[in-house]
């Protein structure tokens, strides 16, 4: 096989195997502070509260930077990011159930069956709390089409 053809074949094989694992930055809600407004995703699980992460303690995953309050939290996340990352890429769980991506407030959260869910704000979370299982089921179905769609930020509040 000629070198150019071999390179092309190897490159195509790489694309085929790498593509399913590739993630686009739009799959995660991120601001200039990083994923989920720079809050530590592990702290939600370990401390039960929204905790800002440090710009000095980060981990790149899924095309975005994640911040952590401690190196221990960063190491836990790095070992198993799917466990600690919020459902629906950190976009509002209620918004996802309604069929769109919307930003979230770090303080409007819930841990359900070991998974982190975020909401747009406390008022939206109150609505979401009225039927969490129903909204989650609908959001799971909607996320299949929303996951790779572009996020268009809403106007400033």
pLDDT tens readout for residues 30-71: 999 999 999 999 999 999 999 999 999 999 999 999 999 999
The answer to whether residues 67 and 96 belong to one domain is: no
Q: How many structural domains compose the chain?
A: 2
Instruction: Tell which of 41, 67, 82 closes a domain.
Output: 82
At 155, the pLDDT band (50, 70, 90 cuts) reads: low
The answer to whether residues 143 and 90 belong to one domain is: yes
**Residue whose entry in the numeric block shows the structure tokens 């190196």:** 71
The answer to whether residues 137 and 92 belong to one domain is: yes
Residue 15 lies in a domain: no
Q: Is 110 helix (H, G, I), strand (E, B) or coil?
A: strand
Are 107 and 120 a contacting pair, CB within 8 Å? no
What's the distance, CA 113 to chain centroid?
A: 17
Would the pTM of this model clear 0.85, i.e. be above it? no
CA dist 150 and 157 (Å) reads: 20
**Residue whose entry in the numeric block shows the structure tokens 């769609």:** 149
What would the pLDDT profile of 88-134 be if each residue is shown by its tens digit?
999 999 999 999 999 999 999 999 999 999 999 999 999 999 999 99
Residue 54 lies in a domain: yes
Q: Is the dihedral of CA 92, 79, 57, 18 positive or negative?
A: negative
- Tokens for 53? 């992460």
Residue 134 lies in a domain: yes
Residue 122 lies in a domain: yes
The answer to whether residues 126 and 138 belong to one domain is: yes
Query: In which domain, by residue range, is 61 found?
Result: 27-82
């Amino acid at each position: 096989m000629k070198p150019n053809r071999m390179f092309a074949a190897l490159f195509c094989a790489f694309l085929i195997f790498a593509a399913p694992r590739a993630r686009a930055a739009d799959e995660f809600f991120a601001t200039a502070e990083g994923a989920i407004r720079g809050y530590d995703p592990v702290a939600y699980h370990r401390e039960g509260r929204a905790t800002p992460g440090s710009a000095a303690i980060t981990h790149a995953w899924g095309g975005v930077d994640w911040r952590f309050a401690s190196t221990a939290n960063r190491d836990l996340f790095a070992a198993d990011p799917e466990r600690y990352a919020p459902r629906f890429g950190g976009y509002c769980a209620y918004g996802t159930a309604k069929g769109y991506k919307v930003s979230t407030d770090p303080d409007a959260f819930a841990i359900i069956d070991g998974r982190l869910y975020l909401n747009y704000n406390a008022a939206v979370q109150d609505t979401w709390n009225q039927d969490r299982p129903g909204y989650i089921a609908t959001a799971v179905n909607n996320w299949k089409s929303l996951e790779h769609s572009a996020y268009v930020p809403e106007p400033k509040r």
